Amino acid sequence: MGSTFGHVFRITTWGESHGGAVGVVIDGCPPRLELSEAESQREFDRRRPGQSRLTTQRREADQVQILSGVFEGKTLGTPICLLVWNQDAISSPYADFQRIYRPSHADYTYQAKYGIRNWQGGGRASARETVGRVAAGAVAKKLLQTLAGTQVLAYVRQVHTIVAEVDPETVTPEAVEANAVRCPDPEAAAAMFARIDQARRELDSLGGVIECVARGVPPGWGEPVFDKLEADLAKGMLSIPATKGFEVGSGFAGATMTGSQHNDAFYSEGGRIRTRTNYSGGIQGGISNGEMIFLRVAFKPTATIARAQETVDEEGQPVTLAAHGRHDPCVLPRAVPVVEAMAALVLADHLLRQRGQCGG
Amino acid sequence: MGSTFGHVFRITTWGESHGGAVGVVIDGCPPRLELSEAESQREFDRRRPGQSRLTTQRREADQVQILSGVFEGKTLGTPICLLVWNQDAISSPYADFQRIYRPSHADYTYQAKYGIRNWQGGGRASARETVGRVAAGAVAKKLLQTLAGTQVLAYVRQVHTIVAEVDPETVTPEAVEANAVRCPDPEAAAAMFARIDQARRELDSLGGVIECVARGVPPGWGEPVFDKLEADLAKGMLSIPATKGFEVGSGFAGATMTGSQHNDAFYSEGGRIRTRTNYSGGIQGGISNGEMIFLRVAFKPTATIARAQETVDEEGQPVTLAAHGRHDPCVLPRAVPVVEAMAALVLADHLLRQRGQCGG
Amino acid sequence: MGSTFGHVFRITTWGESHGGAVGVVIDGCPPRLELSEAESQREFDRRRPGQSRLTTQRREADQVQILSGVFEGKTLGTPICLLVWNQDAISSPYADFQRIYRPSHADYTYQAKYGIRNWQGGGRASARETVGRVAAGAVAKKLLQTLAGTQVLAYVRQVHTIVAEVDPETVTPEAVEANAVRCPDPEAAAAMFARIDQARRELDSLGGVIECVARGVPPGWGEPVFDKLEADLAKGMLSIPATKGFEVGSGFAGATMTGSQHNDAFYSEGGRIRTRTNYSGGIQGGISNGEMIFLRVAFKPTATIARAQETVDEEGQPVTLAAHGRHDPCVLPRAVPVVEAMAALVLADHLLRQRGQCGG
Amino acid sequence: MGSTFGHVFRITTWGESHGGAVGVVIDGCPPRLELSEAESQREFDRRRPGQSRLTTQRREADQVQILSGVFEGKTLGTPICLLVWNQDAISSPYADFQRIYRPSHADYTYQAKYGIRNWQGGGRASARETVGRVAAGAVAKKLLQTLAGTQVLAYVRQVHTIVAEVDPETVTPEAVEANAVRCPDPEAAAAMFARIDQARRELDSLGGVIECVARGVPPGWGEPVFDKLEADLAKGMLSIPATKGFEVGSGFAGATMTGSQHNDAFYSEGGRIRTRTNYSGGIQGGISNGEMIFLRVAFKPTATIARAQETVDEEGQPVTLAAHGRHDPCVLPRAVPVVEAMAALVLADHLLRQRGQCGG
């Protein structure tokens, strides 16, 4: 259970990292939206490994296929199924893990929950699962752009202790894609690149923070109580593998401010109600206020490291997980499109919810 | 829309801060659980104002009523409706705000979304809405205790820049309730109390951080993908008014660690698989691993301050929101039972989901 | 579980027949709809007993209260809670049934499911539960009328073997309310009245059929696959106590027709696509086609009869359920507003779903 | 929207009749259930055309593929995706219909709803959509058999005016599969076969009734109010293309009975509470009572007939839909596995819901 996300614009992902395929069904996408496989493919390509020596060397000649819901280049209003085959289904590297619980992976919890697990790769806990999210996110982004002129953009804000300087109001997709780290601050990006390379050599991994902005969200999206815009965003972000924290607007720093500092004063600008500051992060009472929405997501360092580690097997016997060659020392550049996708999915859902209930 | 939370143990809250009543319907509570109004009343009393001079002086002689679902002291398995009347329905103090958008409140966004709002108090955006959550949370806590021996406990960890030292493994409910700040570190509590009192005198307000622990959660709760335990907890927490951030386990600090530091090594202890550290916060791959779950929630300073503030009215004309006498300079002590309630609601839901799917 | 109905216009009912209150929470109602307690009261009055000697003599001085979601006579867009107190909470007549399973009631199944039941009245299985549906249905009817000019109307079509002649295209609310049987064919109504009176004298009860029409439904409501308009209507109707069957359009009679007879030929009338016949019942492929929607619901004879009956107690021991004085020999006149309510709830939900997804 | 069915055992279907593939995602299936493609294939084969000269001659060399959720022959507890490619994607026969609304098909309503439609075949309204249901239903049937010993069985009860005599207590799968009509009364089956063949020669089509029984359902499945077992069954059945009616237990005939005839007297048999008659159809108050559940579904004659028909095109201009050669004069034999699938899906969902809430 729990493989469905969204209320009106609703996605269901499926697929393990090995065996068969991974994919997503989008239900509730409005009709007559122009859509091609190329759009999902582009986002998909951004999240796949092998883009530079920063990321895992595994090659995936993946191709996104649209199996339903699109006709003559336009959405039909019916479910859109997007699929990518698992071509790299070599399970042998995982055979060693068959009865071993890798530290801070989901091996143990899956076994405890289900009494069975697909030990070939991480099963549903693998980053491979996010393929479906990214493919669906591309559709959500297209929808947001088309119906509301809303743009969603994410980028790496922090790797380990290196924090980039980025102006969220003006940052562009081109600046994000300009380097392999997906950090639009070139200087910080270079330092991050070096730090990640060092981690690789040390057979270790690094965490960091991804920031995401949504520009052009009109006032009125989000629901008052449980389905507050920030609540759904928080859920979406914390559902991404390896995330440990979420902030919107002032975030944890806001906890150390006073009300007179933090309150965003209203003013009027050309007939539009604006706020002079934006500590609220574009959301007040769970509902968008027309200002830029921005949020940050904390990622722990990847659990897969190349060093030997102490752990136990299924019988609880101590074993050493052997050192091995390849690993992805920092998942953040590849996670950028996933964060973007989740933000876009939440916003597209609330766009349609608002239109249904309030006719907006 | 959006007033329902949970999939199997499911609550629906309703009610504005003024007029009529506020309440909650719990659907999906198992039968034969011993339950009385006293349990919800106790939690309810913890969140109401007027408990010390730290909090607003408004008196609410509130009483929780069970209207359905309980018979001869036991749950029937049918929906439990809990209600509290709004006795303090004096709207005059709010008449001044009728056409004014208070900064960082939801006045503007509600108006933008619905084209109408209940200007008597904050409507659904008021903290009054959390009454239903707390009443339902008491039922969830009872259920968790009875079926799984799980205990949920929250406390104030930080007010403004004052950070308490607390051992989440051993902290007790008594220690939390020992002072008006609900901070189990007495020294920090005293400093917080003074800082809050100062804010009151300065007609200002303060934010802070609430920490919450769940002890005695067995392995296996939570779903792999979107309904990860931490994702549902994040949504629950960010649905609480005035929250700006969420962390589980290592949180944002985890972003600055390496994998070799952060990975929680497994070991076996008396036949039970444990982890030596708990940076994961008791959840791996979205599923509980049997270790203590802990999380932190950032609250911004309350938007209601007693100082005069610049803002606009419904026509966008600049107006000054006059200074006024009473306000709650720090909402955190009252928010502690709300955080506890949301954590309990998420865990109770996943307990039943796990039992349904896996028979656990 | 299972006390919530609808996806966007969504209701949750709660309450047993005895103890506390019964009520409903409507979530997802659009804002700025004019609404008063009088509207729900009127529908509520139609379904309560004691309206003529045809129905049970119990008096209920019931009054519908709006507890939330309405401000200055208009909906706020937030949850609307409607409540009616159980004033007639005398359980003594039920004390005899405390350990006895009444035939064709839900006593046994509730006990089997929950291991506990409220033996004072029928608990959630009582017709009393429908109060919330009728109160919410009044809001749905108002919404349909206001946003789409859609009218929903139900009436008794058959009692026992007496079948009325009614033209669903032209029947009026006044004709339905013109007699205590709520059958717009006066001749049939008189015969039904006599048949019901006879059943009362014989301490027995009667079943029958209620027909419901929806006029002014535009093309496009309903979803292609599982949430077909007729599927949601069928679920709504079969969720009403004592129902055993559902038909839409040609219904079971359609099974004996050939395709060349049954196919509804299209033609154009003043720019509007119409069908010459309407065996489809206004729905094709799950989606409204602009023609009148009509359906029929079969009700079994009420399980409560005044005769002595053989049954068993909780230990399985044979016992005689004693004859008693009062009963409602035919529930159909009171069930008419319930059928109307369920039809209105389904249609209101699909109106909003269509508006959300297709912008219609 | 509306492509998802079920609450805990939940399926999402996708796919049009032409282009790409059709399939289903099952979310919430318990782990460690033995499952192979053969099981879904068997059910799938039962619903496909070309099994005898009674049905359409189109050949589909279809093969069901499991893409996820099964590992080494057992379910993982994660989503199971089942897919069948559309190999027969020749759209030319449909090119004539591109701008014509076929009578009693969904062409017009889809166009009205979405402003676009896949004119190659019936899109989502095609019987092809039921492939996913049948594939998922095979999993549900396996689950019911394994966890509860419950058996679901459907058969053709009526074709046009020919009504079979069947004892629902004793009918076997073998008797159903013994002839091409899937009617276990051989005499009636022969008459049905002749009648269908006659309809083919007359270029016409026939409707009928499918009956479905569930044996071995323990007491306690189903929810009291909206998610009554019969309500969910009714929704499931009316979501099948071409259905016009639903009955459970006594059905419409029950409307002409008296309470003293219809009430099912309880008695005790070997410690088990039974009923002497079963007009209730195994469900009381929405909850199974341990007796056999049985229901009937009315199918209209197939809209596709081989005769010329008058209709209109997209501009509303009168056109004649030309006569053509091939058609399926009676869809009922192929619909039998679909009815079985929907019944199994509803029951499997309620099995898990009951286990979650009541621990049963």
**pLDDT tens sequence for chain C (360 residues):** 799 999 999 999 999 887 789 999 999 999 999 999 888 888 888 887 655 555 554 445 589 999 999 999 999 999 999 999 987 555 556 667 788 999 999 999 999 999 999 887 778 888 889 999 999 999 999 999 999 999 999 999 999 999 999 999 999 999 999 999 999 999 999 999 999 999 999 999 999 999 999 999 999 999 999 999 999 999 999 999 999 999 999 999 999 999 999 999 999 999 999 999 999 999 999 999 999 999 999 999 999 999 999 999 999 999 998 877 678 899 999 999 999 999 999 999 999 999 999 986
Q: How many angstroms separate the CA atoms of B144 and B79, rounded?
A: 18
pLDDT grade for B57, boundaries at 50, 70 and 90: very low
Quick check: A53 pLDDT over 60? Answer: no
Closest CA to A282 of A230, A236, A227, A211: A230
**Cβ separation of C267 and D227 shorter than 8 Å?**
no
**In whole angstroms, how large is the CA radius of gyration of chain B?**
21
Q: How many angstroms separate the CA atoms of C70 and C75, rounded?
A: 4
Q: What is the pLDDT of residue D124?
A: 86
Q: How many angstroms separate the CA atoms of C176 and B355, rounded?
A: 49
**Cβ separation of B234 and A238 shorter than 8 Å?**
yes
Quick check: A322 pLDDT over 60? Answer: yes
Q: How many angstroms separate the CA atoms of B100 and B93, rounded?
A: 13
**Cβ separation of A356 and C358 shorter than 8 Å?**
no
Alpha-carbon distances of B342 from A190, B38, B136, B336, rounded to whole Å:
42, 19, 9, 10
E-assigned strand segments in chain B:
4-5, 10-14, 21-27, 65-66, 70-71, 74-75, 80-85, 151-159, 162-163, 208-215, 243-248, 266-269, 272-275, 283-284, 287-288, 293-299, 309-312, 318-321
Q: What is the pLDDT of residue D49?
A: 64
Nearest C-alpha of chain B: how many angstroms from C33?
10
Angle between helices A37-47 and A332-358 (to 10 degrees): 140
**Cβ separation of C116 and B69 shorter than 8 Å?**
no
Which chain B residues have a beta carbon less than 8 Å from that of C77?
Answer: 113-114, 116
Closest residue in chain B to residue A242, using alpha carbons only: B285
Residue A268 three-state SS: strand
pLDDT grade for B177, boundaries at 50, 70 and 90: very high
Closest CA to B316 of B174, B152, B108: B108
Q: What are the pLDDT digits (tens) for D245-292?
A: 999 999 999 999 999 999 999 999 998 999 999 999 999 999 999 999
Q: Say if residues C180 and C333 touch (Cβ distance below 8 Å).
A: yes
Interface of C with A (CB under 8 A): 7-8, 28, 30-31, 77-78, 224, 352-353, 355-359
**Cβ separation of D79 and A14 shorter than 8 Å?**
yes
**Cβ separation of A204 and B251 shorter than 8 Å?**
no
Q: Measure the CA angle with vertex C157, ends C155 and C159; round to 5°.
A: 115
Alpha-carbon distances of D106 from C223, C283, D94, D119, rounded to whole Å:
11, 9, 14, 10
Give the alpha-carbon dihedral of A112, A113, A118, A119, to 10 degrees: -20
Quick check: A74 pLDDT over 80? Answer: yes
Q: Say if residues A9 and A77 touch (Cβ distance below 8 Å).
A: no
Interface of C with B (CB under 8 A): 1-4, 8, 10, 12-16, 19-23, 25, 27-28, 31-32, 65-69, 71, 74-81, 83, 113-118, 120, 123-124
Q: What is the mean pLDDT of chain C?
A: 92
**Cβ separation of B356 and D8 shorter than 8 Å?**
yes
What's the rounded mean pLDDT across residues B163-168? 98
**Cβ separation of D356 and B353 shorter than 8 Å?**
yes
Residues 6+ apart with CB under 8 A from D146: D33, D34
Q: What is the pLDDT along chain D (360 residues), one digit of tens a residue?
A: 799 999 999 999 999 887 789 999 999 999 999 999 888 888 888 887 655 555 554 445 589 999 999 999 999 999 999 999 987 555 556 667 788 999 999 999 999 999 999 887 778 888 889 999 999 999 999 999 999 999 999 999 999 999 999 999 999 999 999 999 999 999 999 999 999 999 999 999 999 999 999 999 999 999 999 999 999 999 999 999 999 999 999 999 999 999 999 999 999 999 899 999 999 999 999 999 999 999 999 999 999 999 999 999 999 999 999 877 678 899 999 999 999 999 999 999 999 999 999 986
Q: Say if residues C280 and C291 touch (Cβ distance below 8 Å).
A: yes
Q: What is the mean pLDDT of chain B?
A: 92
Q: What are the pLDDT digits (tens) for A235-287?
A: 999 999 999 999 999 999 999 999 999 999 999 999 999 999 999 999 999 99
Which helix (H) or strand (E) element contains residue C5?
strand C4-5
Q: What is the pLDDT of residue C299?
A: 98
Q: How many angstroms separate the CA atoms of D360 and D357, rounded?
A: 8
- B293-299, strands of its sheet edge to edge: A162-163, A151-159, A208-215, A293-299, A243-248, B243-248, B293-299, B208-215, B151-159, B162-163
Which residue has tokens 């406990």?
Answer: B153
Residue D168 three-state SS: coil
Which chain B residues have a beta carbon less than 8 Å from that of A5?
Answer: 226
Q: How many angstroms separate the CA atoms of A321 and C112, rounded?
A: 51
Tokens for D224, please give them: 């009291």
Interface test with B, best of C8, C29, C71, C117 (most B CBs within 10 A): C71
Q: Say if residues B294 and B211 touch (Cβ distance below 8 Å).
A: yes
**Cβ separation of B27 and C79 shorter than 8 Å?**
no
**In whole angstroms, how large is the CA radius of gyration of chain A?**
21
Which chain B residues have a beta carbon less than 8 Å from that of D223?
Answer: none
Tokens for D68, please give them: 């996820």
% of chain A at pLDDT higher than 70: 93
Q: Say if residues A271 and B267 touch (Cβ distance below 8 Å).
A: no
Which chain A residues have a beta carbon less than 8 Å from that of B122?
Answer: 285
Q: What is the pLDDT of residue D337?
A: 97
- Indicate the burial class of A339 (C-beta count within 10 angstroms; 0-12, 13-18, 19 or more): buried
**Cβ separation of D113 and C4 shorter than 8 Å?**
no
Quick check: B299 pLDDT over 90? Answer: yes
Which helix (H) or strand (E) element contains residue C11?
strand C10-14
Looking at the predicted complex, does its ipTM rise above 0.90?
yes
**Cβ separation of A25 and D3 shorter than 8 Å?**
yes
Interface of A with D (CB under 8 A): 1-4, 8, 10, 12-16, 19-23, 25, 27-28, 31-32, 65-69, 71, 74-81, 83, 113-118, 120, 123-124
Q: What are the pLDDT digits (tens) for B69-117?
A: 999 999 999 999 999 998 755 555 666 778 899 999 999 999 999 999 9
Q: What are the pLDDT digits (tens) for D189-209?
A: 999 999 999 999 999 999 999
E-assigned strand segments in chain D:
4-5, 10-14, 21-27, 65-66, 70-71, 74-75, 80-85, 151-159, 162-163, 208-215, 243-248, 266-269, 272-275, 283-284, 287-288, 293-299, 309-312, 318-321
Neighbour subunits, D (≥3 Cβ pairs < 8 A): A, B, C
Distance from first CA to last CA of chain D, Å, rounded?
33
Closest by Cβ to B76, choosing from C31, C81, C117:
C117
Q: What are the pLDDT digits (tens) for B140-157?
A: 999 999 999 999 999 999
Alpha-carbon distances of B313 from A46, A80, A268, B108, rounded to whole Å:
46, 45, 9, 9
Sign of CA dihedral C350, C356, C359, D4: negative
Tokens for C111, please give them: 């006990």
**Cβ separation of B224 and D359 shorter than 8 Å?**
no
Q: What is the pLDDT of residue A55?
A: 52
Closest by Cβ to D357, choosing from B77, B224, B359:
B77
Which chain D residues have a beta carbon less than 8 Å from that of C22?
Answer: none
**Cβ separation of C71 and B14 shorter than 8 Å?**
no
Q: What is the pLDDT of residue B297?
A: 98
Backbone angles phi, psi at A310, to 5 degrees: -85, 140
Interface test with B, best of C32, C78, C87, C355 (most B CBs within 10 A): C78
Q: Say if residues A289 and B109 touch (Cβ distance below 8 Å).
A: yes
**Cβ separation of D14 and A78 shorter than 8 Å?**
yes
CATH superfamily, with its number, for domain B4-358 = Chorismate synthase AroC (3.60.150.10)
Which chain A residues have a beta carbon less than 8 Å from that of C353?
Answer: 8, 356
Interface test with C, best of A12, A26, A357, A358 (most C CBs within 10 A): A357
Q: What is the pLDDT of residue A88?
A: 58
What's the rounded mean pLDDT across residues A307-330? 88
Interface of A with C (CB under 8 A): 7-8, 28, 30-31, 77-78, 224, 352-353, 355-359
Interface test with A, best of B1, B294, B345 (most A CBs within 10 A): B1
Q: What is the pLDDT of residue B52?
A: 56
**Cβ separation of D352 and B357 shorter than 8 Å?**
yes
Closest by Cβ to A263, choosing from B245, B246, B309:
B309
pLDDT grade for A90, boundaries at 50, 70 and 90: low
Question: What pTM value is reported for the model?
Answer: 0.96
**Cβ separation of D239 and C255 shorter than 8 Å?**
no
Interface test with C, best of B18, B25, B113, B129 (most C CBs within 10 A): B25
Neighbour subunits, A (≥3 Cβ pairs < 8 A): B, C, D
DSSP assignment of D183-211 equals -S-HHHHHHHHHHHHHHHHTT--B-EEEE
Closest CA to C121 of C166, C85, C76, C88: C88
Closest residue in chain A to residue B358, using alpha carbons only: A114
Q: What is the pLDDT of residue B327?
A: 83
Interface test with C, best of D158, D204, D256 (most C CBs within 10 A): D256
A-D C-beta contacts closer than 8 Å? 149
- B80-85, strands of its sheet edge to edge: B4-5, B10-14, B21-27, B80-85, B65-66
Closest residue in chain B to residue D10, using alpha carbons only: B357
Closest by Cβ to B31, choosing from C8, C76, C114:
C114
Quick check: A351 pLDDT over 80? Answer: yes
What's the rounded mean pLDDT across residues B181-188? 98
Nearest C-alpha of chain C: how many angstroms from A353?
6
